């Protein structure tokens, strides 16, 4: 039997006699992979009008990276969505937040495209969605299809763009994922010829960090030095010498920057960031892909506390020991720089987009000998990132399995009094420190006998704000999962959600019922709406907390009808309201 590629086999046998076996094998090793390469896939445009973006791939978002491109839809909903390649509809989802109405198209080229915030599906798909919603008596549903059920060709209309889910303006969220791994990749390379961009990224601020107990900077913030950017030079360093910051020991940098495009006022994430020190590449990032498991690693790459406090995103040059984010690269010091000579160290940030538009920012860090405080760690309070860590104190417990922390953390544990004789506050750290994965926290409840344990929950404390983390009550203690270190307390939610009718006097005239549902403490768990005792579909939008029922679609005709809406929060408190239609 001959090899699969008969021509290669015969050519190899012949040239072996001419050149000798070792040389031929070397040549074939380099040539055969090229002969077997699969050509890059080609994707068509999702719309038949000029393309502009309101968001790009990998933008920094809370606890995640933006997984696709956001295409503008000329400010309206209902634009026909075109299939970007041949394939089939593999899944549709309907959710009150997130992508809203979403369509998953599995293509014949090995990729899957995901289209979110749709206004509506094709009639045949919409009918199946509605059938399942009634079968399961729920608004949020998922349907999956096989490769022979709903096939399409590139350029065919497969849905209509909209503003559903957690969307605050009409647009299409589109992702391209590798079908085999479900890993999102940057779709922009496929549309460079359709989207104009000759504007370079721009920075707004640069931060210099001292590595605690190993480095120090001339501070204008705790452990940080902030420099604002004007044009392409650094100013406002709060030092006598403009364009210069003094430091000693191990330091690192971070930059706050955005990209821009022609024809829009939007800002975008930066594809390439590179930091050089004395012309040596220290660290770089290339936001070309990520897996969903890597989403939380964004909190280590960026300055988490700064973003939570000021809302500004800073991309760090240093990489934490337990941050395996593949889009990051660094030298042997993992992006840290050692200032150990009294001289000027020349830093250079380069920002570049996919089109090759580039900005360069230069600044000087002057080496100045300073006293760096010695570290005397407390073994009891030191949480080691390389192993399991458990901390006990006064009925309080913190459990962090190996891999929970990005770096070692020394707890600053204190029990603080709370106002109005509420439960005490358990402080773990004075600043909010993100975790790589969830940790388990257990607090004594100190509850009075009049409070049902099922109503208690763990809350994260930020000043006077309390954020619910859930929790399970058992034997006088409550346990919950947390995703950051900070301060926590125990709260009780005994108040039922609110149901507020909107324009109830015109429900009949407008042909729809509209209510707002909200819960002040733990949030909405579920809801149910009936008319004359029969379940009917109420659509829920989490972005504005509105329930809407289309009376005509539900077959509600003339006459008097009894409407009942029941809403339950996360602690089991129930509110029921009845209206006459």
pLDDT(566) > 50: yes
What 8-state DSSP symbol labels residue 334? T
Which of 217-226, 370-379, 521-530 shows the lowest per-residue confidence on average (mean pLDDT)?
A: 217-226
Sorted by sequence, the CB contacts under 8 Å of residue 68 that are 6+ apart come out as 57, 114, 116, 173, 174, 175, 176, 184, 187
Mean pLDDT value across residues 264-285: 97
Which two tokens mark 251? 């330091």
d(CA 405, CA 385): 5
421 pLDDT band, cuts 50/70/90, is low
Spatial CA neighbour of 361 closest among 353, 369, 350: 350
Distance CA 483, CA 462 (A): 14
CA dist., res. 279 & res. 164, Å (int): 48
**pLDDT for res 418:** 77
Q: How far apart are CA 294 and CA 111, in angstroms?
A: 20
Residue 230 confidence (pLDDT): 58
Selection from 211, 223, 248, 208 nearest residue 431 by Cα: 223
In tens, the pLDDT along 76-130 reads 999 999 999 999 999 999 999 999 999 999 999 999 999 999 999 999 999 999 9
C-alpha span between 294 and 287 (Å, rounded): 12
**What does the pLDDT read at residue 41?**
83
- Cα torsion angle, 412, 250, 351, 202, sign: positive
Strand pairing partners for 251?
210, 337
Express each pLDDT in 324-369 by its tens digit.
Answer: 999 999 999 999 999 999 999 999 999 999 999 999 998 889 999 9
Rounded mean pLDDT of 566-572? 96
> Residue 463 carries which DSSP code?
T
Is the distance from CB of 266 to CB of 54 less than 8 angstroms? yes
Higher local confidence (pLDDT), 355 or 423: 355
Q: Is the pLDDT of residue 417 over 70?
A: yes
Which residues lie below 8 Å from residue 251, measured CB to CB, with a gap of 6+? 208, 209, 210, 211, 215, 216, 217, 336, 337, 339, 365
Element (H, E) at 22: helix 21-36
Average pLDDT, the chain: 88
Q: Which pLDDT band, with edges at 50, 70 and 90, does 289 fall under?
A: very high
For range 141-170, the mean pLDDT: 96
Neighbours of 322 (CB within 10 A): 18
Question: What is the average pLDDT across 168-186?
Answer: 96
């Amino acid at each position: 039997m001959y090899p699969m590629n008969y021509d290669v086999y015969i050519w190899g046998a012949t040239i072996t006699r001419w050149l000798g076996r070792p040389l031929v094998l070397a040549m074939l090793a380099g040539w055969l992979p090229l002969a077997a390469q699969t050509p890059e896939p080609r994707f068509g445009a999702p719309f038949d009008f000029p393309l502009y973006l309101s968001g790009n791939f990998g933008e920094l978002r809370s606890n995640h990276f933006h997984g696709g491109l956001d295409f503008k839809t000329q400010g309206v909903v209902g634009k026909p969505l075109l299939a970007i390649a041949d394939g089939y509809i593999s899944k549709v989802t309907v959710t009150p937040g997130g992508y809203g109405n979403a369509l998953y198209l599995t293509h014949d080229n090995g990729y899957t495209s995901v289209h979110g915030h749709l206004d509506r599906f094709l009639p045949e798909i919409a009918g199946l969605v509605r059938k399942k919603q009634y079968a399961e008596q729920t608004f949020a549903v998922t349907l999956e299809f096989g490769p022979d059920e709903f096939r399409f060709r590139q350029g065919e209309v497969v849905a209509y763009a909209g503003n559903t889910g957690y969307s605050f303006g009409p647009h299409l969220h589109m992702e391209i994922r590798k079908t085999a791994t479900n890993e999102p990749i940057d779709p922009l390379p496929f549309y460079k010829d359709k989207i104009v961009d000759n504007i370079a990224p721009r920075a707004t601020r640069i931060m210099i960090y001292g590595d605690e107990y190993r480095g120090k900077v001339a501070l204008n913030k705790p452990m940080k030095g902030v420099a604002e950017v004007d044009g392409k030079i650094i100013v406002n360093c709060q030092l006598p010498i403009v364009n210069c910051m003094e430091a000693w020991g191990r330091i690192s940098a971070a930059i706050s920057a955005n990209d821009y495009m022609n024809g829009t006022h939007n800002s975008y994430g930066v594809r390439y960031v590179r930091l050089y020190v004395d012309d040596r590449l220290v660290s770089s990032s290339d936001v070309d892909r990520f897996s969903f498991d890597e989403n939380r690693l964004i909190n280590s790459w960026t300055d988490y506390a700064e973003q939570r406090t000021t809302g500004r995103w800073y991309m760090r040059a240093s990489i934490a020991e337990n941050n395996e984010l593949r889009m990051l690269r660094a030298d042997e010091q993992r992006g840290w720089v050692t200032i150990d000579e009294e001289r000027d160290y020349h830093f250079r940030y380069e920002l570049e987009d996919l089109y090759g538009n580039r900005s360069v920012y230069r600044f000087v860090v002057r080496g100045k000998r300073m006293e760096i405080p010695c570290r005397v760690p407390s073994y009891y309070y030191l949480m080691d990132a390389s192993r399991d860590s458990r901390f006990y104190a006064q009925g309080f417990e913190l459990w962090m399995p190996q891999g929970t922390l990005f770096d070692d953390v020394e707890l600053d544990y204190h029990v603080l009094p709370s106002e109005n004789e509420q439960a005490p506050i358990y402080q773990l750290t004075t600043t909010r420190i993100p975790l790589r994965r969830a940790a388990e926290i257990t607090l004594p409840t100190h509850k009075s006998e009049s409070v049902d344990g099922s109503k208690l929950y763990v809350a994260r404390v930020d000043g006077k704000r309390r954020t619910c983390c859930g929790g399970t009550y058992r034997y006088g203690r409550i346990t919950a999962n947390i995703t950051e270190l900070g301060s926590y307390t125990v709260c009780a939610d005994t108040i039922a959600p609110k149901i507020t009718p909107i324009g109830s006097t015109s429900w009949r005239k407008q042909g729809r019922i509209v209510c707002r549902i909200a819960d002040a403490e733990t949030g909405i768990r579920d809801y149910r709406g009936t008319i004359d005792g029969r379940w009917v579909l109420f659509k829920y939008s989490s972005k504005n907390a509105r329930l809407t029922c289309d009376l005509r679609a539900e077959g509600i005709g003339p006459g008097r009808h009894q409407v009942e809406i029941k809403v339950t929060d996360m602690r089991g408190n129930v509110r029921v309201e009845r209206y006459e239609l």
